[in-house]
Amino acid sequence: MTIEIGQIAPDFSAKDQNGETITLSQFKGKKVVLYFYPRDATPGCTAQACDLRDNYQALLDQGYVVLGVSTDTEKKHQNFIAKYNLPFPLIADTEKEVHELYGTWQLKKFMGRESMGTVRTTFIIDENGVISDVISKVKTKAHAEQILK
């Protein structure tokens, strides 16, 4: 499934790092940064999360809610958040249900080998639940700049 600018963002219900249920619809009326990343505590994913953390106030000032999504467990998310002092929730999509909704679980090639994995992608969702931007070429060290452009 391909998500495109102008379409309604698929709603979902998933658990965050604390086992609390998060739904996209609970953020109706707010802008949402929904970012999918491969794995907690890897160099690129850490750079991306820390860039969003370092620019979190600017994102809040622009009316954004930030939600990270990976296939890691709640416990791994708790450790990642604690180690890097991340101020936003991380969704533990261990069954890949949210990934499937947004088309971010795909066949990837790395060093000549193919495997299924998360394609790093960020969806910007407006106050009405409509996709206003899709960032597929994520700059992990300058991601907030891409969002706030």
Long-range contacts: 19-24, Cβ < 8 Å, 24+?
19/74, 20/89, 22/67, 22/89, 22/91, 24/125, 24/129
Whole-number Å distance between alpha carbons of 91 and 67: 7
pLDDT at residue 1, as a whole number: 63
Determine which helix (DSSP H) or strand (DSSP E) holds 124, and give its type and residue range: strand 121-125
CA distances from 149 to 33, 55, 106, 133, 146 (A): 13, 13, 28, 11, 5
Entry pTM: 0.95
45 is catalytic: yes
pLDDT at residue 2, as a whole number: 82
pLDDT under 70: residue ranges of the chain: 1
Whole-number Å distance between alpha carbons of 3 and 132: 11
pLDDT at residue 112, as a whole number: 85
- Tell me which residue of 29, 30, 46 sits closest to 38, measured CA to CA: 46
- Assigned token pair, 125: 């969702």
Q: Which residue of the set 24, 32, 45, 67 is catalytic?
A: 45
